[in-house]
C-alpha cells in the first residue's frame, strides 16, 4: 500500500501493490511523468493516440472531490485564543504592559502582541467585542 500522505483516498483504494507506480497511475488516467504528458516543445511529444484508462472511477472521484467547496482551515489555535483573551482581559489595549506579563512565554514584543490581538479580532469579532465591553464595565 502507498504510504505517502499526499495521495487521496480514491487513489489509495485503487492502488495495486503488485504493479509499478507508473502502471498504477496510467491505469487511473493520471500522469507519472509530467514531462512526457505535457511536453515543452511540440516536437518532443510522445505518441498521439489516447491511452486506455482501466480505472476511470478514480478520475471521476477526484474531479468530484475537487469540485467540492474547500473548508476554511485557517484560524487561530486554542492556545493563542487563551493567550489573547488573558492579555486583553488584564490589560485592554496596553501592549507594552502585555509584553511585560509573565504569561508572555515567547517574549513577544508589543508589536507582535498587537498583531495577535488584531488576528483574534478579525477571526472572532463578537468575542473580542464582548471582552472589551466586559472590561469597560469593571
pTM (whole model) above 0.85: no
What is the pLDDT, as a whole number, of residue 46? 53
Q: CB–CB of 132/88 below 8 Å?
A: yes
Q: CB–CB of 87/117 below 8 Å?
A: yes
Give 43's pLDDT tier (boundaries 50, 70, 90).
low
What is the spatial distance between Cα 67 and Cα 64, in angstroms, rounded to a whole number? 5
What is the spatial distance between Cα 110 and Cα 94, in angstroms, rounded to a whole number? 9
Retrieve residue 42's grid coordinates.
Answer: 511540440
Question: Is the confidence at residue 114, as pLDDT, over 90?
Answer: yes
Question: Is the confidence at residue 103, as pLDDT, over 90?
Answer: yes
Cα distances (Å, whole numbers) of residue 10 to 21, 69, 100 = 15, 18, 52
Higher-pLDDT residue of 48 and 17 is 17
Cα distances (Å, whole numbers) of residue 65 to 4, 92, 124 = 19, 45, 29
What is the pLDDT, as a whole number, of residue 2? 45
Question: Is the confidence at residue 54, as pLDDT, over 50?
Answer: yes
What are the percentages of helix, strand and coil residues in the chain, rounded to 5?
Answer: 55, 0, 45
At 12-42, the pLDDT tens digits run 888 899 999 988 888 888 888 888 877 766 5
Question: Is the confidence at residue 64, as pLDDT, over 50?
Answer: yes
Amino acid at each position: 500500500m502507498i504510504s505517502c500522505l499526499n495521495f487521496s483516498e480514491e487513489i489509495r483504494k485503487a492502488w495495486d501493490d503488485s504493479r509499478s507506480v507508473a502502471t498504477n497511475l496510467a491505469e487511473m488516467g493520471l500522469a507519472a511523468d509530467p514531462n512526457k504528458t505535457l511536453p515543452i516543445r511540440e516536437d518532443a511529444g510522445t505518441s498521439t493516440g489516447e491511452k486506455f484508462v482501466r480505472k476511470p472511477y478514480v478520475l471521476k472521484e477526484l474531479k468530484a472531490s475537487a469540485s467540492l467547496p474547500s473548508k476554511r482551515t485557517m484560524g487561530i489555535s486554542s492556545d493563542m485564543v487563551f493567550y489573547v483573551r488573558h492579555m486583553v482581559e488584564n490589560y485592554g489595549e496596553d501592549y507594552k504592559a502585555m509584553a511585560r506579563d509573565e504569561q508572555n512565554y515567547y517574549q513577544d514584543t508589543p508589536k507582535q502582541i498587537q498583531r495577535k490581538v488584531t488576528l483574534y479580532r478579525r477571526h472572532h469579532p463578537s468575542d473580542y467585542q464582548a471582552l472589551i465591553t466586559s472590561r469597560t464595565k469593571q
